Structure 1
Amino acid sequence: MATREVLSSRTETVNKYMKLDQKGKIMAEYVWVDAVGETRSKSRSVTGASAAPRGPGWRPGKPSPAATHGARLLGFATAEGFLAGRACAEARLAKNGTPHGPTTLPEQEYKPEDLPVWNFDGSSTDQAPGENSDVYLRPCAVYPDPFRGSPNIIVLAECWSADGVPNKTNFRHDCAKVMEAYADHEPWFGLEQEYTFLDHDDRPFGWPSGGFPAPQGPYYCGVGSGKVVLRDVVESHYKACLYAGVNISGTNAEVMPGQWEFQVGPCEGIQMGDQLWIARFFLARVAEDFGVKVSWHPKPIRGDWNGQGLHSNFSTKEMRVEGGMKHIEDALKKLEPHHVECIKEYGEDNDQRLTGRHETGSIEQFTYGVANRGTSIRIPRETAAKGYGYFEDRRPASNADPYRVTKILMTSIFGQL
């Protein structure tokens, strides 16, 4: 496998090609979540508003055969429904040029509905059987591309099966319905994503070969050689998120050497899951450029070493104003009977992490306390002092799906739809 030095040289080489003129085309990289909770991606070229599905016999106002077919596949009653929301794109096209000209839309104007539904081989990602392998990518969020630069875009997409229903791995669809139903509560989320860098032998990066580093203590928020590694990767990821408009709010080195954290939020409703998944994708891509791996496993190293979670900070508009503590306490009372149900949604192998040690509560019971990181739920001391604010659910594992985490929080507190 290539060394970091070789990869750096290759990056310098590819940069000269990235500066070439794209002749009016936009490179759109579609990103989705696969069957094991990893991101996948593939790229295509689009040209402004003409990205709407068209085929033989297309004319303005008439759905193409491709649009009609796509509408039926994705459960829309008509092709007009499939193309709903694209009127603004057509209007911009009519104003700025013809479908045959070089007109393109600036990436900041792109909306998911401007972009075509695409597909991939679901049998290669364990998302569909081989005899019916097409899985459809339905755009749901668009971001400026920090790797290829303007005017190129990153497209987060939902997975839909050929029978017009959400794919078994599509947890966004139901989450979005819950967020819409309870939008009046203005739910805010902030997720703290912990992760560990690995070398090519799947050991934490920077650990001595065949041995272990000094015990935990100097590494958390550490500064200096011997305390932290790969800060260059962390900073590059931070900048990539900022460029793309992800609401990344910070980073820090974590308790175990080679372990880091970034925070995304506050985000309202479905945007929390969207932005966290894109931030994960960006980290995987940046780490790829530097020739290192990223582990999302909640306990990457057994023994007296910290695991890693996806601590979930949560509040509603009722909790954020004077008297909000009562609403926080009411929410915790509603969460307690759903503890087992929540754990099922909070990631794989979480039992290896939630042991009651290493700043975790026990997986067996629901607990909460003020400023206590050994509980299921931590109430920040500032929140307790002011009498309003937010609480932190410390149970979710680092590999948890943010759509599942945010949805179960909402339904546990406000009820199932």
Structure 2
Amino acid sequence: MTKYKLEYIWLDGYTPVPNLRGKTQIKEFSEFPTLEQLPLWGFDGSSTMQAEGSSSDCVLKPVRHFPDPARSNGVLVLCEVMMPDGKTPHPSNKRATILDDDGAWFGFEQEYFFYQDGRPLGFPEAGYPAPQGPYYCGVGYKEVGSVARKIVEEHLDLCLAAGINHEGINAEVAKGQWEFQIFGKGSKKAADEMWMARYLMQRLCEGYEIDIEYHCKPLGDTDWNGSGMHCNFSTEFMRTVGGKDYFEKLMGAFGAAIEDHIAVYGPDNHMRLTGKHETAPWNKFSYGVADRGASIRVPHSFVNNEYKGYLEDRRPNSQGDPYQIASQVLKTIASVEIPGSKAAAA
């Protein structure tokens, strides 16, 4: 028998942005445990904004698990938060109630800033560095410094070793700003792996005395980019059938649901979605081929392939909850009748 270090990871009850939490228990198994072997585990919900002190018990229910490459015999255990009965989802448990579809594919582009001593990594103590421009996909100490690339490379290796579908990294437009991409088939799978990738990044940065700043516009009303979490999405119908008529109906549905989307695309998005810095205004919907300033960017490959493939919603921000983002995208898609379906025929 081997003693395994089980790191139970969950989202707390803070709003508008939940925090990641984690605690470890040791259990013996003859080999790497299956999900079914991982027990429910309680925690003090009064310390995480998920219960009152007079009735503080909450329950962690394992829903996904991964090898923990940073620990010997380690297991990363992603959990949903349940009520004390262990069966009823806690009100803060957004994962339990989202719309899901294995045929819907999502790719999230997570932008973020490295922060140290209260400012983006590489910023001087007072004022600003040279204007943005050379930092995007930059190479060399002058552009990216000596620490950031080391962290993102380590994070990439950790994610791949854990079995997370990490698809790439790059330095972003602003100094100290970076991005990684996560892809998954199904909204729960994609969002699970995004949250786990965030967890691994934040834990890794502890050793560098660096924080991750997810706020979508940490530098405020300045000529510096904010951070998004662009959501690339497709369904089986979009990939295999598509068509211009369907696409235009889909864009009409997205335009009509703008308030529903903005409500779950991350707080303070009005600070980022101003119409500047490659964004569309938060209260106006637009789409365009290869238009990085549109609400939804339509790739050339989509149009060239008879309006089949994926689309990119550029409005979700870096603080957004990928569970809610993907679910809202699917709700809007589901509102559009598929040509040839029973609903369309009726």
SS at match of 2:239: coil
2:297 corresponds, among 369, 378, 386, to 378
The CA distance in 1 between the partners of 2:243 and 2:107, in whole Å, is 18
The CA distance in 1 between the partners of 2:165 and 2:31, in whole Å, is 24
**Offset at residue 327 of structure 1 (A):** 3.8
Match of 2:276 in 1: 357
**Offset at residue 355 of structure 1 (A):** 0.4
- Please tell me whether residue 271 in structure 1 is matched to residue 210 in structure 2: no
SS at match of 1:30: strand
Query: Which is bigger in relative contact order (C-alpha 8 A, separation at least 6)?
Result: 2
- Please tell me whether residue 41 in structure 1 is matched to residue 22 in structure 2: yes
2:323 corresponds, among 403, 407, 414, to 403
Match of 2:31 in 1: 105
Match of 2:81 in 1: 159
Could you state the TM-score of these two structures normalised by the residue count of structure 2? 0.91
Instruction: Evaluate the alpha carbon distance shift between residue 161 and residue 382 of structure 1 in structure 2; reply closer, same or farther with a 3 A threshold.
Output: same
Match of 2:286 in 1: 367
Equivalent positions of 1:149-228 (< 5 A) are 149=72, 151-162=73-84, 164-175=87-98, 178-179=99-100, 182-183=101-102, 186-199=103-116, 201-228=117-144
Equivalent positions of 1:320-331 (< 5 A) are 320-321=239-240, 323-331=242-250
The CA distance in 2 between the partners of 1:220 and 1:134, in whole Å, is 46
- Please tell me whether residue 246 in structure 1 is matched to residue 164 in structure 2: yes
Q: How many residues get paired?
A: 328
Match of 1:293 in 2: 211
- Please identify, of 261-270 and 369-378, the stretch whose mean Cα deviation from structure 2 is larger: 261-270
Match of 1:32 in 2: 10
Could you state the TM-score of these two structures normalised by the residue count of structure 1? 0.76
The CA distance in 1 between the partners of 2:190 and 2:70, in whole Å, is 22
The CA distance in 2 between the partners of 1:261 and 1:210, in whole Å, is 25
CA contact (8 A) 1:28 1:46 kept: yes
Match of 1:140 in 2: 63
SS at match of 1:410: helix
The CA distance in 1 between the partners of 2:250 and 2:335, in whole Å, is 11
Identity %, equivalent residues? 43
The CA distance in 2 between the partners of 1:250 and 1:34, in whole Å, is 28
The CA distance in 1 between the partners of 2:244 and 2:64, in whole Å, is 34
CA contact (8 A) 1:284 1:294 kept: yes
Compare the two structures and name the one with the higher helix fraction.
1
Equivalent positions of 1:297-312 (< 5 A) are 297-302=215-220, 303-312=222-231
- Give 5+ residue unaligned stretches, structure 1: 1-22, 49-103
- Give 5+ residue unaligned stretches, structure 2: 337-346
**Offset at residue 125 of structure 1 (A):** 1.0
SS at match of 1:366: coil
1:393 corresponds, among 313, 316, 335, to 313
**Offset at residue 415 of structure 1 (A):** 4.2
Match of 1:76 in 2: none
The CA distance in 1 between the partners of 2:45 and 2:112, in whole Å, is 27
**Offset at residue 319 of structure 1 (A):** 1.1
CA contact (8 A) 1:193 1:261 kept: yes
**Offset at residue 267 of structure 1 (A):** 3.0
Compare the two structures and name the one with the higher strand fraction.
2
The CA distance in 2 between the partners of 1:301 and 1:389, in whole Å, is 35
Instruction: Evaluate the alpha carbon distance shift between residue 241 and residue 325 of structure 1 in structure 2; reply closer, same or farther with a 3 A threshold.
Output: farther
